[in-house]
Amino acid sequence: MVYQPAAGARDLLPLDVAQKRWIEDRLQHVFHRWGYHRIITSTLERMDTLMAGGAIGRAGVLKLQNSEDEELGLRPELTASIARTAVTRMAGAAYPQRLYYNANVFQRRESKHNRQQEFYQAGVELLGSSGLLANAEILLLVADCLNALSLNCWHLILGEAGITRSLLEAFPPKLLDSVRNAIAHLDRVTLDQLPLSDELHERALRMFDLRGRPEVIFAKLANFALKPSEQQAVDELKSLVELLELGGNFSIILDLSLIQTLDYYTGIVFEVVSNIGSQPSPIGRGGRYDNLLGLYHPQGEDIPGIGFVFVVDNLYQVLLASQQLPQTIPETNWLVVASSPQAYNAAFAYSAKLRKSTHLVRVEMDLGGRDAEGIRNYALSKGIGQIAWIQANSPPVIESL
């Protein structure tokens, strides 16, 4: 019998890990430079936490049952868990809180072909601040992260959940979900089949076209009869785009048909798309969620929040095509060989001395069972640069390969 990982799971071998760490280390350095601190939340959560008040569907959660018959799930994303932690475990902390994470998540996929269900994500949450500066910080942080990965061919798709929801309020409640799904998937065929009045059908078609260069979309919005609250949101979006165009060197597509799959977003929403390769590839997403923390707050207090996530698996595929990832695992620097049992203590002591270097030095001990030629062949196969031959009462003999 050949044992394999569970359906939807996978193993990461040393080279996979080295490449994954290459990505995560560069992202982490950027997060640190912007003042973000790492948080680690539980892999297991209560289902009511994971569902975020209904914003996350039960069907996408891998569920478990504990001994008290309490329904638990494996986290499908991190934002809800961090929101819960922030208001229950960090209640006395001063805001804003800048937090980042690097973790695995689990998303249930119904498929007969063992589709992947475990993913790796790296992202940030900025809690306790709303407005232009917080929104701009998150989007400029995205740009800085991709610059650290030397990814220059990408664009930002920027939407505004509040404006989109407000524009959808004109549609009958019983048709709202159908119209919303048709717009989200740019499905004009389905839209044409819905029993809408000519006026509402025309409104839906106009919403289909709210995607393109910011100046073009803002001009089209001027043709909508916007309420004061909607106009304020549009003006704030204009200010954000102007700030980003001054401070960031990337392309912005404004898309007011952009509807994220998670329903807790209240303000700007965005996707980050790589242009490397023949097909655009989504590598990140995020948005503002000003009502989420209030779901978990003991007094129901709303605390604003905004964040983003990079899908490390997607970044890996993009970077693999660009030939930037390491192609080998890190090499061992030294192989220390005890020439006799009497030299064992001296060999361990010399290995410890080498490992105390101010920079990382990888040192292996030879574990016996090979002659000198076999030891040299092993060292050459592993790319080890130096062998230290240790005898009980003599200085080490250093051999460079």
Give CA separation, 112 vs 4, 10, 109, in Å.
16, 16, 9
Q: What confidence tens digit (pLDDT) does each residue in 328-381 have?
A: 888 899 999 999 999 999 999 999 999 998 889 999 999 999 999 999 999 999
Q: What digits encode the pLDDT tens for the residues 275-292?
A: 887 788 899 999 999 999
- Look at residue 112 and tell me whether its pLDDT is greater than 60: no
Give residue 50's pLDDT band: very low, low, confident or very high (50, 70, 90). confident
* Mean pLDDT, range 102-106, rounded to an integer: 93
**Nearest one of 37, 33, 34, 58 to 47, comparing CA atoms:** 58
pLDDT higher than threshold 80 for residue 262: no
Band (309; pLDDT cuts 50, 70, 90): very high
Q: What is the mean pLDDT of residues 287-303?
A: 92
For residue 111, the model assigns a pLDDT of: 61
CB 275 within 8 A of CB 155: yes
Statement: residue 113 has pLDDT above 70: no
pTM: 0.89
- Residue ranges and CATH numbers for the domains of the chain are 14-321 (3.30.930.10), 334-400 (no CATH)
pLDDT value of position 261? 60
Mean pLDDT, the chain, rounded, equals 90
Average pLDDT over residues 188-198: 90
Beta strands in 235-381 (DSSP E): 251-255, 268-274, 281-288, 305-311, 334-338, 363-365
State the SS3 of 9-40: CCCCCHHHHHHHHHHHHHHHHHHHHCCCEECC
**Range with the poorest average pLDDT among 15-19, 69-73, 144-148, 386-390:** 69-73
Q: Is the pLDDT of residue 212 over 60?
A: yes
- Confidence at residue 243, expressed as pLDDT on a 0 to 100 scale: 93
Q: Which two tokens stand for residue 114?
A: 């063992």
